[in-house]
């Protein structure tokens, strides 16, 4: 008998129980155990109906992702599900937690499904670069019809139990949290009423209704925009379409072919790396799991601007009262009005109710004095990038806040150590770097300073989860991890334009790679004045920052989207970047002033210079211990800078290309172009000489 799947009988119900923490994933042992338990149940003459139920916090949450990429062992999941479906005794699946991927497919192989009202179901394989490979693309549409099956399978989004009932995915929903009792009662009812075996594969009415429908072409067209550059979403549509054009067995064969194509796609490896990396970043090196965490019941935010407002919304969304401080009432009123407008726009889109708008607004208050921060557990400063101003504010917070309150800065570049030194409690100071728009972007770069205590680090990591962010712990240096690499890419992009490329050529190389927008379109979104004031700040500090044609644009008032003209121009109310000959003129004039003779530049050179400079900088960041692991860098870029998750992040992507190839090119650029940014990182040279990869670190 398998350890992870057991069989016993309760009255006339044969109970098959899966118990394989943490999420009852369909590992080889679980698949074999399911088959063995089914055989027992079939042989058990006193068992009239079988019940499939799981121990722990959830029903089966899918295939065991950690087995992907390794040789598949029999029984394969499709055959396990077939055996359940072909059982001559009715089988009930009792669902709690999340029935996902192969877990939902197993339940669809059963003949009846009952769920707790708190349960969710879904087929999220597309988020791993795959498609449902155990009949989900053939059985789900037989219950829901084409439209809903396509929505669920191409988005991977979960569906709540009540909606699953309305869609016919489950047959009953019960309140409470004792899934075994609910399952047994439902199975007993099936037995008492002598209900028959009911195979989903035999259902055809929903198929007839959508046969030959346009819905498949409509979905493909929609995916061209939504899933640009991705492989598996389109294969998902092909597989579901097969359910409407082929008999069940042939549809299953087609599903398997398409599944294997996804398995072989490099995007699968990238997305599975991103899946596990997102979970690993929460385990910080040198920070034991049992490190005490402080309670955060009340928060203060300084600055009601774009960042301050977005940051405050995260806490209100999590039910934590937050007070925003400003210097002038007018600025405060403006900031609070922007927050209300954002919430009301979200309500207009039906994502929250008006009642939730009022509830969240009731958690947000304003003040013009730090005296109102005397009892907060955390303050986050979000004022503009000036070290003098931040040090002054932290000195004042040190006096205003209670002992044990955490003082955090949302600075995106300045030294947290220098800010902490302005207080008598550097152990309670940390960087909480949010990304614009702060209420939307998932990344929270958590910057430890030299003296930050473990308790404050652990509290920040736990808080990230609470406000539904992906927290990545990094060390303190100029630009931390994300911006430090971004600035290198930005400088290379500028140099490439100086030498002859056009901004739109550079941006196209980056969007073709999968970024949602290019370097220069991003500058226009962020505001050209932001980069300009940072460069001016550094020049004021005596740093030698080279002249730039971007400064000319800023001085002409071309600040980007907000002035409808920056590197690109924008039509009223439209964010689509339009190349502007006026900018080409400014660039040509700049080259002349600088005595630069422009040359033809290939897309490949642009790709290598923009991306390899980041990889080289990433290696230096790892060497310096600013990031503990390459996956910390990957997750930072995926959730903070739109690096395509299907490429796994910049360091994983580099491993795929081959570090020897990258080092060879970096050394060539160092010879040809010079500059600190192209000095090969020692770690990169070391890994290549040892035939190792970032992923081996």
Tell me which residues touch ligand T1G (CB under 6 A).
22-23, 25, 61-66, 77, 98, 100-102, 105, 124-125, 128, 130, 132-134, 136, 276, 279
The smaller minimum CB distance to ligand T1G, of residues 20 and 694, is found at 20
Query: Alpha-carbon distance 344 to 338, whole Å?
Result: 10
SS3 434: strand
Q: CB burial class (10 A; 0-12, 13-18, 19+) of residue 563?
A: middle
The smaller minimum CB distance to ligand T1G, of residues 55 and 499, is found at 55
In the complex, the smallest distance separating the C-beta of residue 31 from ligand T1G, rounded to whole angstroms, is 10
SS3 663: helix
The smaller minimum CB distance to ligand T1G, of residues 109 and 482, is found at 109
Query: Alpha-carbon distance 39 to 485, whole Å?
Result: 57
The smaller minimum CB distance to ligand T1G, of residues 63 and 170, is found at 63
In the complex, the smallest distance separating the C-beta of residue 17 from ligand T1G, rounded to whole angstroms, is 19
Angle at 469 between CA 467 and CA 472, to 5 degrees: 130
The smaller minimum CB distance to ligand T1G, of residues 126 and 485, is found at 126
Query: Alpha-carbon distance 665 to 688, whole Å?
Result: 13
The smaller minimum CB distance to ligand T1G, of residues 22 and 595, is found at 22
Radius of gyration of the chain (CA): 28
The smaller minimum CB distance to ligand T1G, of residues 132 and 308, is found at 132
**Under 8 Å between Cβ of 357 and 344:** yes
The smaller minimum CB distance to ligand T1G, of residues 134 and 320, is found at 134
Query: Alpha-carbon distance 693 to 684, whole Å?
Result: 9
The smaller minimum CB distance to ligand T1G, of residues 130 and 528, is found at 130
In the complex, the smallest distance separating the C-beta of residue 124 from ligand T1G, rounded to whole angstroms, is 4
In the complex, the smallest distance separating the C-beta of residue 641 from ligand T1G, rounded to whole angstroms, is 23
The smaller minimum CB distance to ligand T1G, of residues 153 and 587, is found at 153
From residue 596, alpha-carbon distances to 280, 584, 604, 672 in Å are 47, 14, 21, 16
Per-position DSSP letters for 390-421, written without gaps between them: HHHHHHHHHHHSPTT-EEEE--SSS-HHHHHT
In the complex, the smallest distance separating the C-beta of residue 290 from ligand T1G, rounded to whole angstroms, is 15
**Under 8 Å between Cβ of 237 and 155:** no
578-579 and 568-569 strand pairing: antiparallel
Q: CB burial class (10 A; 0-12, 13-18, 19+) of residue 558?
A: buried
Per-position DSSP letters for 514-559, written without gaps between them: T-SS-HHHHHHHH-HHHHHHHHHHHHHTT--PPP-HHHHHHHTT--
Structure tokens at 183: 């399952």
SS3 599: coil
The smaller minimum CB distance to ligand T1G, of residues 30 and 534, is found at 30
**Under 8 Å between Cβ of 85 and 200:** yes
Catalytic residue among 85, 125, 326, 381: 125
443-448 and 112-116 strand pairing: unpaired
Catalytic residue among 3, 10, 39, 105: 105
**Under 8 Å between Cβ of 472 and 626:** no
In the complex, the smallest distance separating the C-beta of residue 542 from ligand T1G, rounded to whole angstroms, is 46
In the complex, the smallest distance separating the C-beta of residue 278 from ligand T1G, rounded to whole angstroms, is 8
Which residues are 26's β-sheet partners? 63
In the complex, the smallest distance separating the C-beta of residue 120 from ligand T1G, rounded to whole angstroms, is 8
For the question of residue 105 being annotated catalytic, the response is yes
In the complex, the smallest distance separating the C-beta of residue 280 from ligand T1G, rounded to whole angstroms, is 7
In the complex, the smallest distance separating the C-beta of residue 430 from ligand T1G, rounded to whole angstroms, is 23
- Strands (DSSP E) along 262-349, which ranges? 299-302, 322-325
In the complex, the smallest distance separating the C-beta of residue 529 from ligand T1G, rounded to whole angstroms, is 39
**Under 8 Å between Cβ of 120 and 159:** yes
Query: Alpha-carbon distance 415 to 430, whole Å?
Result: 11
**Under 8 Å between Cβ of 311 and 408:** no
- Strands (DSSP E) along 146-284, which ranges? 159-160, 172-174
Query: Alpha-carbon distance 352 to 359, whole Å?
Result: 11
Which residues are 300's β-sheet partners? 323, 379
Q: Which residues are catalytic?
A: 105, 125
């Amino acid at each position: 008998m398998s350890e992870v799947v057991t069989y016993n009988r309760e009255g006339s119900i044969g109970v098959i129980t899966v118990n394989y923490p943490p999420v009852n994933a369909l590992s080889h042992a679980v698949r074999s155990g399911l088959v063995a338990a089914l055989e027992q149940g079939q042989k058990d003459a006193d068992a009239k109906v079988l019940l499939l139920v799981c121990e722990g916090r959830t029903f089966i949450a899918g295939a065991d992702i950690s087995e992907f990429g390794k040789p598949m062992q029999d029984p394969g999941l499709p055959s396990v599900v077939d055996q359940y479906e072909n059982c001559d005794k009715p089988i009930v699946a009792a669902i709690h937690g999340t029935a996902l991927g192969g877990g939902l497919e197993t339940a669809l192989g059963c003949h009846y499904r009952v769920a707790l009202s708190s349960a969710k179901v879904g087929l999220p394989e597309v988020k791993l670069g795959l498609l449902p490979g155990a009949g989900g693309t053939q059985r789900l549409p037989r219950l829901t019809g084409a439209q809903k099956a396509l929505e669920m399978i191409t988005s991977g989004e979960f569906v709540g139990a009540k909606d699953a009932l309305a869609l016919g995915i489950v047959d009953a929903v019960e309140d409470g949290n004792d899934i075994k009792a609910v399952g047994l009662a439902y199975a007993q009812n099936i037995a008492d009423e002598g209900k028959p075996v009911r195979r989903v594969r035999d259902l055809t009415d929903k198929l007839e209704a959508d046969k030959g429908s346009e819905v498949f072409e409509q979905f493909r067209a929609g995916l061209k925009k939504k899933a640009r550059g991705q492989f598996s979403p389109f294969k998902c549509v092909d597989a579901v379409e097969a359910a409407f054009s082929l008999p069940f067995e042939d549809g299953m064969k087609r599903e398997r072919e398409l599944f294997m194509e996804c398995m072989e796609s490099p995007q699968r490896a990238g997305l599975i790396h991103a899946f596990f990396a997102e979970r690993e970043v929460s385990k910080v090196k040198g920070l034991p799991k049992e490190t005490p965490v402080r309670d955060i019941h009340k928060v203060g935010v300084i600055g009601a601007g774009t960042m301050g407002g977005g940051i405050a919304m995260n806490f209100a969304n999590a039910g934590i009262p937050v007070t925003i401080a400003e210097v002038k009432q007018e600025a405060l009123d403006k900031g609070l009005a922007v927050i209300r407008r954002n919430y009301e726009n979200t309500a207009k889109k039906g994502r929250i109710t008006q009642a939730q708008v009022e509830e969240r607004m009731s958690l947000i208050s304003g003040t013009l004095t730090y005296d109102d921060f005397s009892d907060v557990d955390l303050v986050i400063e979000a004022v503009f990038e000036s070290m003098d101003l931040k040090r002054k504010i932290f000195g004042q917070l040190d006096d205003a806040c209670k002992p044990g309150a955490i003082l955090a800065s949302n600075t995106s570049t300045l030294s947290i150590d220098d800010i902490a030194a302005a207080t008598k409690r550097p152990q309670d100071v940390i960087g909480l770097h949010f990304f614009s728009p702060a209420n939307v972007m998932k990344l929270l770069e958590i910057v430890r300073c030299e003296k930050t205590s473990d308790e404050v680090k652990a509290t920040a990591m736990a808080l990230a989860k609470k406000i539904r962010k992906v927290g990545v712990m990094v060390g303190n240096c100029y630009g931390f991890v994300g911006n430090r690499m971004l600035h290198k890419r930005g400088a290379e992009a500028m140099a490439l334009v100086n030498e002859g490329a056009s901004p739109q050529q550079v941006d196209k190389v980056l969007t073709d790679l999968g970024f949602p927008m290019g370097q220069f379109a991003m500058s226009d979104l962020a505001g050209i004045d932001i980069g300009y004031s940072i460069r001016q700040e550094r020049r004021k500090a005596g740093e030698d920052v080279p002249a730039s044609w971007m400064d000319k644009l800023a001085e002409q008032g071309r600040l980007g989207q907000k002035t409808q003209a920056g590197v690109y121009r924008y039509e009223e109310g439209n964010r689509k970047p339009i190349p502007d000959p006026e900018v080409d003129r400014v660039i040509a004039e700049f080259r002349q002033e600088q005595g630069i003779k422009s040359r033809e530049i290939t897309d490949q050179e642009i790709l290598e210079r923009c991306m390899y400079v980041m990889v080289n900088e990433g290696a230096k960041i790892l060497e310096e211990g600013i990031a503990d692991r390459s996956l910390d860098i990957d997750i930072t870029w995926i959730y903070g800078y739109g690096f395509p998750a299907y490429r796994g992040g910049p360091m994983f992507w580099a491993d795929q290309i081959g570090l020897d190839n990258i080092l060879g090119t970096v050394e060539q650029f160092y010879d040809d172009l010079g500059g600190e940014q192209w000095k090969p990182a020692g770690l990169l040279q070391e890994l290549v000489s040892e035939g190792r990869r970032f992923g081996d670190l």
